[in-house]
Amino acid sequence: MMTRTELQQLLPHRDAALWLDGIDGHDANSIRGYCQPDCVQHLHVAQTGWLFEAAAQLCAVHGALYANDETIMSAHIGKLSAMQVHHPLNTSGAILLLQASLLGGGSASALYTFTVQQQENLLLDGQLLVVLHHA
């Protein structure tokens, strides 16, 4: 389990820019987390597609946790692909559950598949290439 406070030690995101509220499980190949459904509200749009940012933050946390003792200075989205929106986001609904699985990568980048779910509804899925910058 990781809290929002612990996530702030791994990511440069602060305040409304940090969409993740916690991590409830991870191993070398996958990570699970959660966030509030109103995380997109500061964008002034409540479109489901924007939730890829929460998934990208989840992938960045995974990269930081399994960086083999290398300090990661930043992580950026190299490519977003195969993204599909399945259901609309309910910003006043239940918490969002996020999951990412590592498909492959090295010290400079990692490719993940991701899902964002709200209760039984799959909202969004796709692939993210995350580029990692080490100290």
pLDDT in tens, 95-104: 999 999 999 9
**Number of independent structural domains in the chain:** 1
* Residue 58 pLDDT: 96
CATH number of the CATH domain containing 126? 3.10.129.10
Do β-strands 96-105 and 30-35 pair in parallel, antiparallel, or remain unpaired? Answer: antiparallel
Distance of CA 132 to the CA centre of its chain: 14
* Residue 35 pLDDT: 97
pLDDT in tens, 1-46: 999 999 988 888 888 889 999 999 999 999 999 999 998 887 776 6
Give the span between the Cα atoms of 51 and 57, in whole angstroms.
10
Give the domain range for residue 112.
2-134
Burial of 123 (0-12, 13-18, 19+ CB in 10 A): buried
